[in-house]
A and B are shown apart, each in its own frame.
Chain A
Amino acid sequence: MESLRKKFFSHPFVLTIIAIVLGFAVASVILLLAGFPPKESIETLVQSMIGRPKDIASVIIRSTPIIFTGLGVAFAIKTGLFNIGAEGQYIMGCVVATMVGSMLDFPKPVAVLMVVISAMLVSALYAGFVGFLKAQFGIHEVITSIMLNWIALYFSNWVCGLDFFHKPGTIGMYPVNDCTYTMLLPVWKKSEAGQAFLAEHPVLQETLGRTDVNIGFIVAIIAALYISHLLNRTRKGYELRAVGLNIHAARFSGINVNRSIVHAMMISGALCGLGAAFYVTGQSPHTVSTLSSFENVGFNGLSVAFIAFSSPIGCIFAGLLFGGLLYGGAGLQSKVGAPTEIINIVIGVIVFFCALSYLIPRFVDRLDAAKISKRRARQLAKEKAKAQKAAAAGKDGKKGGSDVV
């Protein structure tokens, strides 16, 4: 019985929910202190996240890249690596996707495939380099990938400035060609027939017609399922997890740990690149602009992976929550006047409580233990009383002397 309760409170999903509730609780207190009505503010926030079909569609679109980078980070964590370089890998993916996409003119499936593959490949290699440095020279991946993040940022800006890619009159590159678009029915929905059809179906009009609904989200779900399968069911996943959990035992049992580290980083990077490809091909402006600082898509992936307790499937929900908060935060500001920073606080608190959540099962265990010891104390008292009665009855009963001679 007690054990079941503990099991319930040990489940990552339950813990995440608790963390989210606590996150909103803390946010409410802060809103109250800042002079905003907490109940209304949070209602507004939720309203702007899921109030209209258009909002839901927008949240999904906003979440997709974060789900991918979250997935990449979560995968790395499962294999014992901390891929703080997701940001850089994502940026590299975006640049390459845009470069390739802006030059291609092929039938759709081929064009999309080429963009996706090239972005994945470059991001994988970029991450693989970090893995190689770790495997070969023992340099910690956090150090190398932080530096590579900056290199990616400046590489991206450099490419933006190249004559060949720079679109005059903008601060960015030429956008990718139409043939690489991954929105749902991009041509049809602009056509007359499409417009007419959408006009008759308001929900579709709002979502499909007004937003860049794309196939990225579906690919993200497939990727999450696949990564989950890869980690838990396959030979490769077994190897990677073994290396992540105990590199010594893995080496001893004949696993090529150096290769594993490189592969793990490459897969993690490829997921970030995949996210980048669908961002560039699936959302306007379909291009990359000169960046003055990081856009945090990769760093947000870290938070997503934490909130999801590194579960690939969990990343989908954590990513949606994250994207939703980012999107809804804007509404919060326009409608209630509360600063968007409150959203950062909510997210921070959720991550914080996720990190602390390992205390919850312990707390539950304490409660259980207290109950049991009470029960036992009662039982013991009963036994003692019985024994005393028995002793009183037969005086010759041996005294409870020492059993140590």
Chain B
Amino acid sequence: MAAEVSSRYAVQMHGITKRFGSFYALTDVDLDVEKGTIHSILGENGAGKSTLMNVLYGLYQADAGEIYIGGKQVDIKNPTAAIEHGIGMVHQHFMLVENFTVTQNIVLGTEPTKGGVKLDMKQARRNVLDIVQKYGLEVNPDALIRDITVGMQQRVEILKALYRGAEILILDEPTAVLTEQEIDELLKIMKKLIEDGKTIIIITHKLKEIQASSDVCTIIRRGQYIDTVPVKGVTEDDLAEMMVGHAVKLVVEKEPPNPGRVVLDIQNLYVKNEQHLDAVKDFNLQVRAGEIVGIAGIDGNGQAELMEAVNNLKRCKGKIIVDGVEIQNKTPKFGIDHGVATIPADRHKDGLVLGFTVYENTILEKYRTEEYSPKGTIDRKKMRSFAEELIKAYDVRPEDCGPKLAGGLSGGNQQKIIIGREIAQEPKLLIAIQPTRGLDVGAIENVHKMLIKERDNGVAVLLISFELDEVMNVSDRIAVIYDGHIQQIFKHGTVDNRTLGRVMAGGKVEPSEIRDLPDEVAYAAPAVGEPSEEPMEEPVEEPAVVEPAVSLAEVIAAGNAAADAEEAASAIAEPEYIVRSAAAEEPAPDRSIEEAEKTSETMEHMQEEIDSMHKAIEDIQKQLSLVLQKMSDANTDVD
């Protein structure tokens, strides 16, 4: 199991055991990380990954076991000692001072001084710029933390560790809060750091990322060491199986939806953000009973404000109708009483009362019913039996967590409690915001199954996620939100990642294009008469019916569409281009750098898209001329 102690390894942890009270979070776990590699740690929620890393970083003391750094045994009593040994850690939850600048945060605690007393912020800024340049981690050193994106904040955390001379970098679920683009960037940064001779330990639940980034993977299950494998030789399925202990299905299986009446009807919604600008504008969306509508979009396009309005945490203009009742501009309770259940994005802030027991948390909405508090007194027996049932049904671990504080559970298990509680509300509309953030693949499978089961029970499900795969997999319809409104709606299986990405960046896709997708992407030809994609302009009630069979008329239509597509391409490209760059020059000085970066990214992205569209148009034109040829042939034949 454990490798021999050698200087070949950056980190070796042997026989680590960690106990919380009588509960063993880690039992005899080994970890050997070779220098200059990316080593991932995989395990279910509550497996003990964070605990193991906290032991390495000196936040917890192991009850047994040894730690070797570069072949030498060390005793890591606290994070300061860890930093001295060249270990840096970026936590799952960032530890930055919101009102400080990037520079101030990076040098915090190790500020350069003049004469040992006076802060030398100029020197600090130079130092920061030096490492920024060295590793190509672009950030604006003068921006305030609260003004920069989560992805940027993470860079600051990484820079902070590097600034303190970290040779070994621990990243605890670094991608859970990032968007797809930001994840790509992070992977690039990691590669660069490795080239520079650093060693990285990364915790992630996303098997794809392990495949894309890591050399070696160590698997932990319920606090026990399972195996260490080279990533090259194994598939995602293998990893998932090793982690959970049985085979896991990574792709959701579901029957086609059976949509019924309209349950959620959002009409002309406008919601303002903190800066009093319209973050949601002219937003229209319907969700029917028995269907899952997924909202895809880049973070910051109005999702947060939309949800605040739906949950009655914010005032809005327009209408939010649930089963015929207008619920907007009322109280959160009003929405809940009218059949809305929400799995919130931030489980620590909105989802749970961490200082309550698990028992108490399971009745956070139910407590006020006569059933659970007859005559104003909480029926504790009832609460307990309900909670125990929920714990069993949703496999919350440890099994005896009921009377313990919810704050002591691992993130994944906390999420299970929330999901169980919300589904137990028997809602008409279930809203799931990032429901699988930080969950392991086994748990994700379960959450997706639960959402689909709710759908099959006739619940209208609205799913909001920054994870494209999740939205594409689970949703029956995918609504893309861009700049506060629905840009376009697609039916499940009619678009691929790339197309969706383009719409998320503000583009639009013509119907013809969707059907002309190459075969290798997830494209299921709709059966005759089945609704295909539904552009926003058309009411949901009467989706356009498109015949999939290749008929002559069809091809001609496609030919016409070709011209449209070209027009669309330019329409998407140029005006957007101008709008975006204009936006970059708009006031908000703190954001301008980042904004400009984003813009240039988007522009690059668009250029690619335009090229591919041009190709598509050429293809269509070729086909068209072929068809015309055939037609004239046919005509001459008739003649």
- A residues in contact (CB < 8 Å) with B: 2-3, 6, 233-236, 238-239, 241-242, 245-246, 248-256, 366, 369, 372-373, 376-377, 380, 400-405
Give the distance to chain A from B1, nearest Cβ to Cβ, in Å.
Answer: 6
Extra contacts, 13 of them, besides A248-B350, A403-B32 (Cβ < 8 A), are A6-B21, A238-B360, A238-B367, A238-B373, A242-B353, A242-B356, A245-B354, A251-B332, A254-B368, A369-B19, A372-B63, A400-B2, A404-B230
User: What are the residues of chain B within 8 A of A234 when measuring CB–CB?
Assistant: 373, 376-378
Q: How far is the CA of A253 from the CA of B332 in the complex (A)?
A: 7
Give the distance to chain B from A81, nearest Cβ to Cβ, in Å.
Answer: 15
Do the beta carbons of A238 and B378 come within 8 Å of each other?
yes
Do the beta carbons of B378 and A235 come within 8 Å of each other?
yes
Q: Does B408 count as interface, using CB distance less than 8 angstroms?
A: no
Give the distance to chain A from B54, nearest Cβ to Cβ, in Å.
Answer: 15
Known: A234-B376, A235-B373, A372-B19. A252 touches B350 (CB 8 A): yes
Known: A376-B17, A400-B2, A403-B228. A253 touches B64 (CB 8 A): no
Do the beta carbons of A246 and B1 come within 8 Å of each other?
no
Q: How far is the CA of A254 from the CA of B353 in the complex (A)?
A: 13
Which B residue's beta carbon lies closest to that of A377? B64
Encoded as 1 (CB less than 8 Å from any A CB) or 0, chain B from 224 to 237 comes to 00001010010000
Q: Does B344 count as interface, using CB distance less than 8 angstroms?
A: yes
Do the beta carbons of A256 and B378 come within 8 Å of each other?
no
Do the beta carbons of A245 and B21 come within 8 Å of each other?
no
Give the distance to chain B from A236, nearest Cβ to Cβ, in Å.
Answer: 7
Do the beta carbons of B230 and A405 come within 8 Å of each other?
yes
Do the beta carbons of B368 and A3 come within 8 Å of each other?
no
Known: A3-B21, A376-B17. A249 touches B353 (CB 8 A): yes
User: What are the residues of chain A within 8 A of B364 when measuring CB–CB?
Assistant: 242, 249, 253
Q: How far is the CA of A3 from the CA of B15 in the complex (A)?
A: 22
Known: A238-B360, A400-B4. A254 touches B333 (CB 8 A): yes
Encoded as 1 (CB less than 8 Å from any A CB) or 0, chain B from 317 to 346 comes to 000000000000001110111000010100
Do the beta carbons of A254 and B331 come within 8 Å of each other?
yes
- B residues in contact (CB < 8 Å) with A: 1-4, 15, 17, 19, 21-22, 32, 34, 61-64, 216, 228, 230, 233, 311, 313, 331-333, 335-337, 342, 344, 349-356, 360, 364-365, 367-368, 373, 376-378, 380
Give the 8 A-B residue pairs with the shortest CB-CB distance, closest first: A254-B333, A245-B355, A376-B64, A235-B373, A252-B350, A3-B22, A253-B364, A402-B3
User: What are the residues of chain A within 8 A of B352 when measuring CB–CB?
Assistant: 246, 249
Do the beta carbons of B376 and A236 come within 8 Å of each other?
yes
The contact of A253 among B3, B63, B216, B336, by CB within 8 Å, is B336
Q: How far is the CA of A236 from the CA of B233 in the complex (A)?
A: 58
Q: How far is the CA of A366 from the CA of B1 in the complex (A)?
A: 29
Q: How far is the CA of A252 from the CA of B431 in the complex (A)?
A: 13
Q: How far is the CA of A376 from the CA of B356 in the complex (A)?
A: 35
User: What are the residues of chain A within 8 A of B335 when measuring CB–CB?
Assistant: 254
User: What are the residues of chain A within 8 A of B331 when measuring CB–CB?
Assistant: 254, 256
User: What are the residues of chain B within 8 A of A401 when measuring CB–CB?
Assistant: 3-4
Q: How far is the CA of A250 from the CA of B367 in the complex (A)?
A: 12
26 contacts between A and B (CB under 8 A): A2-B22, A3-B22, A233-B377, A234-B373, A234-B377, A236-B376, A238-B360, A239-B368, A241-B356, A246-B353, A249-B349, A249-B352, A252-B351, A253-B364, A254-B335, A254-B337, A256-B333, A369-B63, A373-B63, A377-B64, A400-B2, A400-B3, A400-B4, A402-B3, A403-B1, A404-B32
User: What are the residues of chain B within 8 A of A235 when measuring CB–CB?
Assistant: 367-368, 373, 376-378
Q: How far is the CA of A250 from the CA of B351 in the complex (A)?
A: 9
Q: How far is the CA of A188 from the CA of B364 in the complex (A)?
A: 54
Give the distance to chain B from A7, nearest Cβ to Cβ, in Å.
Answer: 8
Which B residue's beta carbon lies closest to that of A380? B15
User: What are the residues of chain A within 8 A of B230 when measuring CB–CB?
Assistant: 404-405
User: What are the residues of chain B within 8 A of A248 when measuring CB–CB?
Assistant: 349-350
User: What are the residues of chain A within 8 A of B22 when measuring CB–CB?
Assistant: 2-3
Q: How far is the CA of A366 from the CA of B60 in the complex (A)?
A: 11
Do the beta carbons of A246 and B378 come within 8 Å of each other?
no
User: What are the residues of chain B within 8 A of A400 when measuring CB–CB?
Assistant: 2-4
Contacts between chains A and B (CB distance < 8 A), count: 107
Give the distance to chain A from B86, nearest Cβ to Cβ, in Å.
Answer: 20
User: What are the residues of chain A within 8 A of B19 when measuring CB–CB?
Assistant: 369, 372
User: What are the residues of chain B within 8 A of A252 when measuring CB–CB?
Assistant: 311, 313, 332, 342, 344, 350-351
User: What are the residues of chain A within 8 A of B351 when measuring CB–CB?
Assistant: 249, 252
Known: A235-B373, A403-B228. A372 touches B3 (CB 8 A): no
Do the beta carbons of B64 and A246 come within 8 Å of each other?
no
User: What are the residues of chain A within 8 A of B4 when measuring CB–CB?
Assistant: 400-402
User: What are the residues of chain A within 8 A of B228 when measuring CB–CB?
Assistant: 403-404
Q: How far is the CA of A252 from the CA of B343 in the complex (A)?
A: 10
Which A residue's beta carbon lies closest to that of B355? A245
Give the distance to chain B from A370, nearest Cβ to Cβ, in Å.
Answer: 9
Give the distance to chain B from A332, nearest Cβ to Cβ, in Å.
Answer: 41
Give the distance to chain A from B330, nearest Cβ to Cβ, in Å.
Answer: 11
User: What are the residues of chain B within 8 A of A249 when measuring CB–CB?
Assistant: 349-353, 364
Known: A234-B377, A245-B353, A404-B34. A251 touches B313 (CB 8 A): yes
Which A residue's beta carbon lies closest to that of B18? A369
Give the distance to chain A from B20, nearest Cβ to Cβ, in Å.
Answer: 9
Known: A245-B355, A372-B64, A377-B64. A404 touches B333 (CB 8 A): no
Which A residue's beta carbon lies closest to that of B3? A402
Give the distance to chain B from A62, nearest Cβ to Cβ, in Å.
Answer: 35
Q: How far is the CA of A236 from the CA of B610 in the complex (A)?
A: 61
Which A residue's beta carbon lies closest to that of B15? A380
Q: How far is the CA of A235 from the CA of B378 in the complex (A)?
A: 6
Q: How far is the CA of A253 from the CA of B365 in the complex (A)?
A: 6
User: What are the residues of chain A within 8 A of B64 when measuring CB–CB?
Assistant: 372-373, 376-377, 380
Q: How far is the CA of A405 from the CA of B333 in the complex (A)?
A: 57
Give the distance to chain B from A250, nearest Cβ to Cβ, in Å.
Answer: 7
Give the distance to chain B from A311, nearest Cβ to Cβ, in Å.
Answer: 15
Q: How far is the CA of A404 from the CA of B313 in the complex (A)?
A: 52
Q: How far is the CA of A367 from the CA of B377 in the complex (A)?
A: 42
User: What are the residues of chain B within 8 A of A233 when measuring CB–CB?
Assistant: 377-378, 380
Give the distance to chain B from A13, nearest Cβ to Cβ, in Å.
Answer: 19
User: What are the residues of chain A within 8 A of B3 when measuring CB–CB?
Assistant: 400-404
Which B residue's beta carbon lies closest to that of A4? B22
Q: How far is the CA of A3 from the CA of B24 in the complex (A)?
A: 12
User: What are the residues of chain B within 8 A of A242 when measuring CB–CB?
Assistant: 353, 356, 364
Q: How far is the CA of A378 from the CA of B115 in the complex (A)?
A: 52
User: What are the residues of chain A within 8 A of B354 when measuring CB–CB?
Assistant: 245-246
User: What are the residues of chain A within 8 A of B349 when measuring CB–CB?
Assistant: 246, 248-249
Q: How far is the CA of A241 from the CA of B313 in the complex (A)?
A: 21
Q: How far is the CA of A236 from the CA of B365 in the complex (A)?
A: 13
Q: How far is the CA of A258 from the CA of B3 in the complex (A)?
A: 59
Which A residue's beta carbon lies closest to that of B383? A238
Give the distance to chain B from A86, nearest Cβ to Cβ, in Å.
Answer: 23
Q: How far is the CA of A3 from the CA of B63 in the complex (A)?
A: 14
Q: How far is the CA of A56 from the CA of B376 in the complex (A)?
A: 39
Q: How far is the CA of A249 from the CA of B228 in the complex (A)?
A: 40
Q: How far is the CA of A372 from the CA of B22 in the complex (A)?
A: 12
User: What are the residues of chain B within 8 A of A246 when measuring CB–CB?
Assistant: 349, 352-355
Which A residue's beta carbon lies closest to that of B232? A405
Q: How far is the CA of A403 from the CA of B377 in the complex (A)?
A: 59
Do the beta carbons of A369 and B378 come within 8 Å of each other?
no
User: What are the residues of chain A within 8 A of B333 when measuring CB–CB?
Assistant: 254-256
Q: How far is the CA of A380 from the CA of B336 in the complex (A)?
A: 56
User: What are the residues of chain A within 8 A of B332 when measuring CB–CB?
Assistant: 251-254
Q: How far is the CA of A255 from the CA of B336 in the complex (A)?
A: 11
Q: How far is the CA of A360 from the CA of B61 in the complex (A)?
A: 17
Q: How far is the CA of A101 from the CA of B337 in the complex (A)?
A: 47
Give the distance to chain A from B194, nearest Cβ to Cβ, in Å.
Answer: 16
User: What are the residues of chain B within 8 A of A255 when measuring CB–CB?
Assistant: 333
Q: How far is the CA of A380 from the CA of B66 in the complex (A)?
A: 12
User: What are the residues of chain A within 8 A of B342 when measuring CB–CB?
Assistant: 252
Which B residue's beta carbon lies closest to that of A246? B353
Q: How far is the CA of A128 from the CA of B63 in the complex (A)?
A: 50
User: What are the residues of chain B within 8 A of A245 when measuring CB–CB?
Assistant: 353-356
